[in-house]
Amino acid sequence: MNITFSKIAIPAQGAVVLAVGEGARLGPAGAALDKTTGGALTRAMKAANFNGKREKTLTIVVPGGTKLSRVVLVGVGEVKSVDGMAAERLGAAMFDAVAADASAAVVLDVFDGVKAGLVAAYIAGGVLQKSYRFAKYRTKEESESKPKLKSVAIQTGAAAEAKRLFADVAAIADGIFFARDLISEPPNVIYPESFAARAKELAKDGIKVEILGEAAMKKLGMGSLLGVGQGSERESQLLVMRWDGGAKSHAPLAIVGKGVCFDTGGISLKTPPGMWDMKWDMAGAGVVVGLMRTLARRKARVNVVGLCGLVENMPDGRAQRPGDVVTSMSGQTIEVQNTDAEGRLVLADVVWYAQQRFKPSAIVDLATLTGAIIATFNDHYAGLFSNDDDLAQRLTAAGKTVGERLWRLPMGEEYDRELKSLIADMKNIGSGKGGSITAAQFIQRFIQKGVPWAHLDIAGVVWNEKGTVLSAPGATGYGVRLLNQFVADNYEK
Ligand code: BES
Ligand code: MN
Ligand code: ZN
């Protein structure tokens, strides 16, 4: 998608998207166009009962008196209250309205004053995010259903400022797209080694990328992670990515992703319905990789280390059995009662390694960890678990700002108890009730005293069959904007 910013000048031909304020208020260029068309815009708004309500659209095809193919009126609601998030959503609605055109001019003449540049930049970001398609494996697609929009000219009174602000917005989209690409790929294409190879591309963005294979992890004593991957033909990998944009003396923030490239359940095999969904059981890792790209491309003034535990959970003659006992890098032993509760086994070793090696100021993990979190929140919130009220509050606030919402769930000794094992330090499942919480309790057992930690259970929000406001059906990229905002709000100010 080619996006440009320019001053307001309604083109003579093609598609025009016109922002309309609450109360069907047109800006000066819109009013002029209304005149040219002999009042077609105002008549159409009346006839359709279109009042400029936010995200409502009204399309006027081949308006008389012009050579335009269409004018799409997009309600922006109360102009003053449009913030970055509202603007992003508007951009997505605008994309949908003109997806069938090759190019379009977006006329933002109802916005003026201080926020015009910001609104224009974020509208562009919404257009961009909604334009993403993962179509590389489609050899046939009906041309009517295929979006054709290739270039969008955003017209605003604050073009220079919009263009400047758009640099960061584009960096965010780059990260989201990288995450969506990885999450969308089929599991025969993306497996631990190929995932790590893709992440190596981040070196071009200025990120230091390191990959540890099974021999190195064995030396480190990562029996918990390695146990999950031992039934797979694919070698497990630990991916370590560093962005050092902050002061040398500052301890890094560690972001850890669950990268189960395919989760069959292992010997505790899943049932066929929906098993294919488990190709996106590496979404946490995909989001970490996407986030690293965003931080690097906008040259964030922060030190962040991203770590991904990459494995494939397969049943096989060598696979781990329910009942096996493994020793984690922390030294704690785990009775693996259910091989399908594998994400926590992977995270246990990766969060431990992150703390040992990097002494991070805080650690946040992202994981498609439990089906139970979907039962709790459906696709509306990700679950948040933390040992630190302040960290939890900051993450929740960042999520609110970007519209990737988090809701905190409780933790406590009464849940932790469920992990008692008869023969090892713990088992990897609880009673089966409150399953998202016992999973979080399990990870917490690998967090050292005094280290602020948060766990985001993103199983319900990373893939959406119907599509979301900002994404087509499939991978959403949830988490990239959230963590980018969290970094910007708390580490760069
Ligand atoms: N990857 C799954 C969780 C999941 C389920 C993510 C559905 C996305 C959609 C995870 O590894 C898993 O299998 N969890 C089990 C845990 C149980 C065995 C304690 C679950 O949630 O059923
Ligand atoms: Mn599983
Ligand atoms: Zn899983």
161 domain-assigned? no
CB atoms within 10 A of CB 179: 29
Overall number of domains in the chain: 2
Residue closest via CA to ligand 1's atom 17 equals 341
User: Do 233 and 311 sit in the same domain of this protein?
Assistant: yes
pLDDT at 253: 98
Ligand 3 centre from 278 Cα, in Å? 7
Residues 6+ apart with CB under 8 A from 329: 220, 221, 222, 223, 224, 348, 349, 352, 353, 356
- Give 184's pLDDT tier (boundaries 50, 70, 90): very high
Indicate if 105 and 221 belong to the same structural domain: no
Q: Looking at the domain assignment, is residue 166 inside a domain?
A: no
Range(s) of the domain holding residue 54: 2-156
Q: What is the mean pLDDT of residues 188-200?
A: 98
My answer on whether 143 and 210 are in the same domain is no
Measured in Å, residue 61 CA sits from the centre of ligand 1 at 48
Residue 94 falls inside a structural domain: yes
What backbone torsions phi and psi does residue 8 show, to the nearest 5 degrees? Answer: -75, 120
151 and 190 within one domain: no
Please measure the distance between the N-terminal and C-terminal CA atoms of the chain and give it in whole angstroms.
32
> Is residue 418 located within the same domain as residue 468?
yes
Catalytic residue among 70, 293, 344, 481: 344
Which candidate, 113, 141, 126, 131, places its Cα nearest to that of 74?
Answer: 126
pLDDT at residue 369 in the model = 98
Question: pLDDT tens for residues 412-427?
Answer: 999 999 999 999 999 9
* Residue where a domain stops, chosen among 108, 131, 156: 156
Q: What is the DSSP letter of 110?
A: T
Whether 270 is catalytic is yes
Listed residues 107, 127, 156: the one ending a domain: 156
Q: Which of 340, 378, 431 to mutate to test the pocket of ligand 1 (most atoms within 8 A of CB)?
A: 340
Same domain? For 87 and 185 the reply is no
Residue 145 has pLDDT above 80, yes or no: no
* pLDDT value of position 412: 98
- The values of phi and psi at residue 44, to 5°, are -60, -40
Half-sphere exposure of 366 (CA within 13 A, CB side): 33
Whether the per-residue pLDDT at 86 is higher than 90: the answer is yes
| CB of 181 closer than 6 angstroms to any ligand 1 atom | no
Q: pLDDT by residue (tens digit) across 351-365?
A: 999 999 999 999 999
CATH of the domain at 286: 3.40.630.10
Residue 147: pLDDT band with limits 50, 70, 90: confident
Percent of the chain residues topping a pLDDT of 90: 97
Q: Of all residues in the chain, what percent carry a pLDDT higher than 70? A: 100
Q: Which of 109-113, 319-323, 439-443 has the lowest mean pLDDT?
A: 109-113
How high does pLDDT run on average in the chain? 97
Same domain for 360 and 226, yes or no, is yes
- How far apart are alpha carbons 441 and 354 in whole angstroms? 18
Q: Is the CB of 370 under 6 A from ligand 1?
A: yes
Number of residues written out for the chain:
493
pLDDT classification of 258: cutoffs 50, 70, 90: very high
Claim to verify: residue 257 and residue 316 sit in the same structural domain: yes
pLDDT value, residue 144 = 66
What are residue 243's phi and psi, to 5 degrees?
-115, 115
Domain co-membership, 414 together with 307: yes
Is the beta carbon of 371 within 6 A of some atom in ligand 1? yes
pLDDT of amino acid 251 = 98
pLDDT given at position 116? 96
User: Does any ligand 1 atom lie closer than 6 A to the CB of residue 343?
Assistant: yes
Q: For residues 364 and 256, is the Cβ–Cβ distance under 8 A?
A: yes
Tell me, yes or no, whether 108 and 248 share the same domain: no
- CATH number of domain containing 75: 3.40.220.10
Distance from the alpha carbon of residue 223 to the mean position of ligand 2, in angstroms: 17
What gap in Å lies between CA 389 and CA 108, rounded to an integer? 41
Domain match, 298 and 230 both: yes
Tell whether 91 and 184 lie within a shared domain.
no
Final residue of a domain: which of 90, 122, 156?
156
Q: Which band of pLDDT confidence, cut at 50, 70 and 90, is reported for residue 113?
A: confident
